[in-house]
Structure 1
Amino acid sequence: MDDKKQPIVIKKVVKGHAHHGGAWKVAYADFVTAMMAFFLLMWLLGSTTKPQRAGISDFFKHPSAIQGPGGASTSMIKLGGTQDMPTGPTQMHSIGGARAPTPEELEKAAQARDHQRMQTLEVELRKAIDRSQALRPFKDQLLIDITPEGLRIQIVDKENRPMFDLGSDILKSYAQTILEKIGDFLNHVPNKISITGHTDAHLFLNADMSNWELSTERANAARRALIAGDMDKTKVARIVGLGDTVLFDKKNPLAAVNRRISIIVLNKQTEAAMAKGDAYVSGATSKPAVSAPTPAAGGGAAVAHPEISAPPAGSAANPTVTPHT
């Protein structure tokens, strides 16, 4: 037996701290995001006016996409809310030493944004028409373009396919459907609208009736059809009858295309001018959406009582008295 003792080995185990994981990173990121949002809110409250803050609030309360005649839109149309908020180089307050923009620069930037909104609305409307089974067959009678007043939608007559009964303001069933579908689309746009009636140069055999009355009555009939399509009646800012003073096809005053209804989604500049009482004449200043002669400018408007307004000399320039169509 060996008397030597075996050496005693002491094993010392050092326990480390438990691993905390990455949960703290998520919490910290949330904290930083909340602080950024808080400071952004403080900046917005200090650099915007009360109407602008109301617009921002309304934008986040109603973020849904605009519904068109063919269903929900695939993108947002930024037409309201922050429309007057200066961005980029035209910020209202100086940041980092940059100078504050002049009122003229702010106005120019606001007009540029408004024009961009009209272009976006035009794209969305064309998509809605393509998606709508009710509107697609009549695409050749729907002309869309942008004018100095806003986005113009023209519904024109076609040979053997008129919008109204002969010499009256009674809409054909297909025209009623078109206007109702457009009314549903326009109800989701915050802008007000203008409706203008146009006729061709045929003369009435009845001396008590003229193209002034007919164009105004047809514009009002279009208003009723738009409202029947669930458009808010308060969106209508103006009803105008121009008779045959603004022909679409000046080379052929009797052409069917001259008989049309023009609906303009008014831009903010035009709305402001109308609020001040400034006069505008719809449909007389811009290039048509198809290759046709540009409508003549300068026609007088018969708005409230066209029967007491004599048309300019030569406005109904057809030398032969023919039944009105």
Structure 2
Amino acid sequence: MSRKKKHEHVNHERWLVSYADFITLLFAFFVVLFASSQSDRKKQAQVAAAMQTAFTPLGSFEAHAKTPPLEQAPSAATVTRPAALAMPFPQIGQLTPEREMEDRLTRLIKEAGARLPAGSVTTRVVPEGLAISLHEIGFFASGSAEVRNESIPILTKLAETIPNAPLRVEGHTDNMPIHTAQFSSNWELSTARASAIARLLLERGSIRPANVSASGYAEYHPVASNATVEGRSQNRRVDIILLRDREASR
């Protein structure tokens, strides 16, 4: 007796499994796109911050473009363009203005080296620009704001070398107190020395007075420790700072 064949039940809804898989993959795809867009925005902000940090010390961006917006305002209809560069990037063998000024100053010091004690003039790069330090040993007597006669020739050459651009003259002292008939504290002494150097630069060079400012900081901006004789000697100085930013001179 033959067995009756059972008829298999045909599932007409198996397409729903494939459709559900497709919808799941499509959802995952859009999730990945959304995550990528958010990641790219963060990377864009990081790259912009890194570029700003790298270029700002060189003065490559204009002052009004220090924080370029990453997105346009909703009402803006124009396309934002990169800020123009204030100076070209230094090529191989080409010196930056700070380095060129240092080289010119080094040659100037060598020419007049016999007139000043060793270490009378030093240079260093500071955030505001190039700082030329005139130390007391070569330019002033102890406790005095009168410029030594033997330092006048190098100050004259320095005034002729410095470009007609914004600069700040800063007077500094060590932490040893002073109280004389002329100066009641280091504030007065540092300010008088800065004013004396600024006046001489204006008289001997072609710098416009509007580009020059002078101030005294007493003992509160040391470059070395006041615990040693050598450190105090380095702190007794007048700094001529060639400024990158015109606003810094105000």
User: If the length of structure 2 is used for normalisation, what is the TM-score?
Assistant: 0.56
Distance in 2 (alpha carbons) for counterparts of 1:209 and 1:154: 24
Deviation digits for residues 163-191 of structure 1 (CA, Å, limit 9, x no counterpart): 223322111112333322211111xx232
The match for 1:117 among 94, 97, 100 is: 97
Residues 134 and 177, structure 1, Cα contact 8 Å, conserved in 2: no
Distance in 2 (alpha carbons) for counterparts of 1:150 and 1:253: 28
Q: How far off its partner does 1:203 sit?
A: 1.0
Q: How far off its partner does 1:201 sit?
A: 1.2
Q: How far off its partner does 1:117 sit?
A: 2.1
What pairs up with 1:266-277 in 2 under 5 angstroms? 266-267=243-244, 270-274=245-249
Q: Which has the larger radius of gyration?
A: 2
AA partner of residue 174 (structure 1): E
Unaligned runs of 5+ in 1: 1-82, 85-98, 278-325
Is 2:193 aligned against 1:214? no
Q: Which residue of 2 aligns with 1:178?
A: 154
Q: How far off its partner does 1:135 sit?
A: 6.8
The match for 1:192 among 140, 163, 166 is: 166
Q: How far off its partner does 1:228 sit?
A: 3.4
Q: How far off its partner does 1:251 sit?
A: 4.4
Is 2:132 aligned against 1:148? no
Q: Which residue of 2 aligns with 1:250?
A: 225
Residues 216 and 241, structure 1, Cα contact 8 Å, conserved in 2: yes
The match for 2:108 among 128, 140, 157 is: 128
Distance in 1 (alpha carbons) for counterparts of 2:237 and 2:159: 17
Q: Which residue of 1 aligns with 2:43?
A: none
Distance in 1 (alpha carbons) for counterparts of 2:89 and 2:153: 32
Is 2:237 aligned against 1:260? yes
Q: More helix per residue: 1 or 2?
A: 2
Distance 1:166 1:124, change over 3 A: closer
AA partner of residue 225 (structure 2): K
Is 2:141 aligned against 1:165? yes
Distance in 2 (alpha carbons) for counterparts of 1:111 and 1:139: 35
Q: How far off its partner does 1:250 sit?
A: 1.8
AA partner of residue 204 (structure 2): G
Distance in 1 (alpha carbons) for counterparts of 2:122 and 2:98: 15
Unaligned runs of 5+ in 2: 1-60, 63-78
SS at match of 2:145: coil
Is 2:209 aligned against 1:229? no
Residues 132 and 241, structure 2, Cα contact 8 Å, conserved in 1: yes
Distance in 2 (alpha carbons) for counterparts of 1:185 and 1:263: 13
The more displaced of 222-231 and 143-152 is: 222-231
AA partner of residue 263 (structure 1): I
Distance 1:154 1:112, change over 3 A: farther
Distance in 2 (alpha carbons) for counterparts of 1:250 and 1:112: 39
AA partner of residue 207 (structure 2): D
The more displaced of 163-172 and 134-143 is: 134-143
Deviation digits for residues 40-70 of structure 1 (CA, Å, limit 9, x no counterpart): xxxxxxxxxxxxxxxxxxxxxxxxxxxxxxx
Residues 191 and 215, structure 2, Cα contact 8 Å, conserved in 1: yes
- Percent sequence identity is 25
Aligned residue pairs total 167
Distance in 1 (alpha carbons) for counterparts of 2:203 and 2:103: 24
Q: Which residue of 2 aligns with 1:204?
A: 178
Deviation digits for residues 89-117 of structure 1 (CA, Å, limit 9, x no counterpart): xxxxxxxxxx98523xx4xx437759922
SS at match of 2:156: helix
CA RMSD of aligned residues (A): 3.2
Residues 116 and 151, structure 2, Cα contact 8 Å, conserved in 1: no
AA partner of residue 107 (structure 2): K
Deviation digits for residues 217-275 of structure 1 (CA, Å, limit 9, x no counterpart): 000011122233234342642111000101122242662221101001111xx21454x
User: If the length of structure 1 is used for normalisation, what is the TM-score?
Assistant: 0.44
Residues 200 and 253, structure 1, Cα contact 8 Å, conserved in 2: no
Q: Which residue of 1 aligns with 2:216?
A: 241
SS at match of 1:252: coil
